[in-house]
Amino acid sequence: MPATSYREALRAAHREALQRDARVFVMGEDVGRYGGSYAVTKGLLEEFGEARVRDTPLSELGFVGAGIGAAMGGMRPIVEVMTVNFSLLALDAIVNTAAALRHMSGGQFGVPVVIRMATGAGRQLAAQHSHSLEVWYAHVPGLKVLAPATLADARGMLWPALQDPDPVLIFEHAQLYNLEGDLPDPAPVVDISRAAVRRAGDDVTIVTYGGSLPRALAAAGTLAEQGIAAEVIDLRVLRPLDMATVLASVRKTHRVLVVDEGWRTGSLAGEVMARVAEEAFYDLDAPPARVCSEEVPIPYAKHMEEAALPLPPKIVAAARALRQSA
Amino acid sequence: MIEFRLPSLGSDMDDGTLVEWRVRPGDVVKKGQVVAVVDTTKAAIDVECWDEGVVHLLLAEPGTRLPVGAPLAILRAPGETVADADRAWAAARALKAAGPTTAAEAQRAAQAVVPPAPAMPPPAPGATVPPARPASTPAPSPARTPAVPPAAGATPAAAGASPTPRPRISPLARRVAREHHLDPARIPAPRGVVQLEDVQAALRAGLAASPAVGPAVAATPAGPTAGPAAGPVAPPTPAQRARAMRQTIAAAMARSKREIPHYYLSEEIEFAQAAQWLAARNAGLPPAQRLLPAALLLKAVALSLRRYPEFNGFWREGAFVAGSGVHVGVAVSLREGGLVAPALHDADRLDIATLTRSLLDLVKRTRAGALRSSELADPTITVTNLGDQGVASVFGVIYPPQVALVGFGRIAPRPWVDEAGRLVAAPLLTATLAADHRASDGHRGALLLAAIRAALQEPESLGAPWQDAPARPQE
C-alpha cells in the first residue's frame, strides 16, 4: 500500500474529478500558479490548464458568488476558500444563495457547488486565523457539511460531494494536511452520510470530528493503558448528523464525551449532547460531557494556544471523570 | 399505627397467597411502594402500599393464604414512636380478642391508646414525611446514602420538616432497577449517586430477595411473626396455574353474561391519516423507539371516554359509579393460555411515546407475571385489540364490574367510498363497543364510537407536539 499524505490524497481526489467530469473546475485564491496556499492543487494548472484551474481575485464574496453562478449554469465547481476565517466574507452567498435557492425556487434551481475550506488552530496564526466555525454552517438547512479526518476520506469524499445536486462544504483541518499514512490503490469508495467507529470500546463513547480525531485517538490510547476502553466515533458528516451510529454506541457504553475544537458555547458538541439526551436519556449512566476550546479568541503564544485547544490530556481527564463519577 | 391490609387484586380475586415480603421492620415505606408479592391464580402480583410510614411489624408469614382485606403488616405513622405503636397494636389485638362491639367504639378505644400526634398538619398527598425518630433505637436499617425518602413537591413548611434532597439516580440505573423491581431509593450509593454498578451490586447482594421477617422491634407479647420467614413459597405449577386461570375466567365471563345486558355497536374507521402520521413520526427512528398504532388507538379511546364518562366506571349495587380516572385495561393474552387485562393508568394524560413505552412494559410484565395490585384493581374499561391475530372485528364480553369493552380488529386495505364518491382502497379498522345497557344506551354508545373515529382522523390532536420531551416513566 503506497504511503501518502492527507494533502496528496486531496490532490489525487481533485485530479480524479477533473479527469472524470468535464464540468468540474477548481477556483480560488492562489490555487493555480501558486499551487494552493496549502499546496493541495500543486501541479494541477500545468496538467489541466487555465480553464480548469482558475486563480481568482482576493474577494471571497465575489468568487464564491461566481462559483455559485457557475454551478447554477451547469458546471460543477470546486471553490477553494483559503480558510473558514475568510469564508465569513462570503457568508451571505453561501447561506442566502447557495443554501436557499433550491427551496426558494421551488426546486427549479439547484446549486451543485463544492466549497472547500481549511479550518482550525494550532499553528500560531492567532485570533483571526484560527477559527473552527463548522457549526455555523452545520446549522443551515440546504447545506451538507463534511469533515474528512482520515486519508481515505480526504481521497474519497470529493467525488460524491461533486455528484450531489446541492451545496456541499468540506472542512479540512489545517493540521491534517501533513498527516501521513497508507492508502490502498485504487482508493476505497466512501459515503458522505455516515459516521465511522474509528476505535471500538465498551467504557465510554468519544465523539469527535476533523482535527480532533487524532487527539481523541491519542487520548483513547492513553485511557486504554489506564484500563478504560474508549470507543471513538468520527462524525465525518456534520450535517446531517448520523446520530444512529452515535446512539448505538451510547447505548453500549452509557457514557458520552464529545470533543469539538469549536468554542463550547453554541458548539456542535452541544447539539450532539442534546440529541443524545433526547434520544438515549434512559441509557445514560452519567451526564453527557464535552471538551471544547476555551472561551477565548485563540491566542498567538504557543503555550497559550495549546492551553486553549482540546488536546489529549484534557480529553483523558474528562473521560476519566465520566467513568469515575456522577 | 396503620394497619396495612391486603388490597383488592381484581374483581375476580378474593384471596391470594403471600409469596414474599419486600420490606423489613424499620424500612421506610412511601406511597405506592411495592411491599410484598402475593400469588393469585393469574400471576404473582406486586402489592403496593398506599400509606406512608415505617414498617413496625410484619403480620403474615410467607406461604399463608389470605383473603382480600386481611391485615398484613403494621406501620408506624409519621411521628409515632415505637413504644406508641406497640401499645396501639396491643390494644387493637385486645379489642379483636374481646370481639367487635361497634365499629365506632372499637375505633375510639384504639385511638385512645395512640398518643395524640404532634401538632403537625396531616401531610398533603405526596408530601414527604420524615421517618419517626423514636427514643429507643430500633434495629438499624441497612446503612445507605441517601437515607431519606425523596421530596415529592410538598412545601417543607407543610410537612413540618426540612426538605429532603431528591435521590440522585442515573436514568440508566433507574431503568434497570425498575426492570428488576428494585426500588432505586433503597440501593446503596457510595458515590452519592446510584449508577448502574450500584444496581448490579444490589442485585448480586440479593437486595430484591425476600428479607427475613426479623424479630419484633420491641418486646411484644405473643408477636405473631417472631419467627424467621419460611422464605419464598414455591409458585404453583404451570398446569395448576392454567387450570386455575380457566376457572377464574369462566367465573367472570359467566357472571358477565348472566348479569350484564350487553348491546353491541360497530364502526368502520379509516386509518389513512393515522397511518401517515405514524409513518412520519417513525421515520428515522430505530425500531425500539417507534410509536405503535395500538398506542394511538388507546389514546383515542381514553380521550373519547373523557367526553362520554358513562362508559368509564363500574356498575355497583344498582348504579353507575364513575371511575376516578381513565385507567384503560389492556387485554393481554398469555402464552400458556388465558387472559389478563391490567390497567394503563391515566391513559388520557400520556403522550403517544410514553403510551407506547408503557404499553410495551405492561405487556412484558404481564407475560412475565410481574404486575402490581393497582394494575389489576383499577381498570375502568377494557380495550381488546385482536388486529394482530388477523381478525376483522371483535365483539367482547364485558369484564364486570366494568360497563364497557372496546374492540379493535385488524387494519387492512378495504374498499371505501371517499368524499368525492369514488371507490378507493383505504386502510380500514373495525372498532366495536360492547356496553352494559343498564349504564348506557345505544345512542351514547354510538357517540362514543364516533368520537373515537373522529379522533383517529386527526392524529395530531391525540398527542404531544412533534418533539416529545422525554417524559418521566410512570412511577
* Mean pLDDT comparison of B219-223, B334-338, B356-360, B429-433, highest-scoring range: B429-433
Identify whether residues A229 and A159 lie together within a single domain.
no
Distance from CA of B285 to the nearest CA of A (A): 9
pLDDT at B147: 39
Write out pLDDT tens, residues B252-271. 899 899 999 999 999 999 99
Structural domain includes residue A277: yes
Catalytic residues of A: 60, 129
pLDDT at B207: 62
Residue B129 has pLDDT above 50, yes or no: no
Domain of A150, CATH number, reads 3.40.50.970
List Cβ neighbours of B50 (8 Å cut-off, separation of 6 or more). Answer: B7, B31, B32
**What ipTM score was computed for the predicted complex, to two decimals?**
0.70
Where do the H-state alpha helices sit in chain A?
6-20, 44-48, 60-72, 84-87, 91-92, 101-104, 134-138, 151-156, 158-163, 212-225, 243-253, 268-280, 302-308, 312-324
pLDDT at B78: 84
* Count of domains forming chain A: 2
Domain of A242, CATH number, reads 3.40.50.920
- Pick B470's closest partner by Cβ from A254, A278, A286: A278
pLDDT band for position B232 (50/70/90)? Answer: very low
Write out pLDDT tens, residues B413-452. 999 998 899 999 999 999 999 999 999 999 999 999 999 9
pLDDT at B426: 93
pLDDT at B288: 84
Q: Tell me the residue range of the domain where A299 lies.
A: 196-324
- Interchain CB distance below 8 Å, B470 and A244: no
Structural domain includes residue A125: yes
Identify whether residues A14 and A158 lie together within a single domain.
yes
Identify whether residues A312 and A220 lie together within a single domain.
yes
Write out pLDDT tens, residues B98-111. 655 555 555 555 45
- Give the residues of chain A that fall short of pLDDT 70: 325-326
Q: pTM of whole model > 0.80?
A: no
Identify whether residues A240 and A122 lie together within a single domain.
no
- Interchain CB distance below 8 Å, B467 and A278: yes
The residue among A151, A182, A213 that closes a domain is: A182
pLDDT at B229: 39
Write out pLDDT tens, residues B279-323. 998 998 888 889 999 999 999 999 999 999 999 999 988 899 999
pLDDT at B289: 86
Identify whether residues A112 and A54 lie together within a single domain.
yes
Residues of A in contact with B473 (CB under 8 A): 282
Closest residue in A to B189 (Cα) is: A326
- Pick B172's closest partner by Cβ from A247, A284, A326: A284
Chain A residues bordering chain B (beta-carbon distance below 8 Å): 244, 247, 254, 277-279, 281-286, 325-326
The residue among A148, A182, A216 that closes a domain is: A182
* Helices A268-280 and A243-253: angle between axes, nearest 10 degrees: 60
Q: Higher confidence at residue B364 or residue A313?
A: A313
Mean pLDDT of chain B: 78
Residue B112 has pLDDT above 60, yes or no: no
Structural domain includes residue A156: yes
Distance from CA of B374 to the nearest CA of A (A): 25
- Pick B170's closest partner by Cβ from A277, A279, A284: A284
Query: 10 Å Cβ neighbour count for B209?
Result: 12
pLDDT at B165: 65
Structural domain includes residue A187: no
Identify whether residues A53 and A174 lie together within a single domain.
yes
Structural domain includes residue A188: no
pLDDT at A2: 82
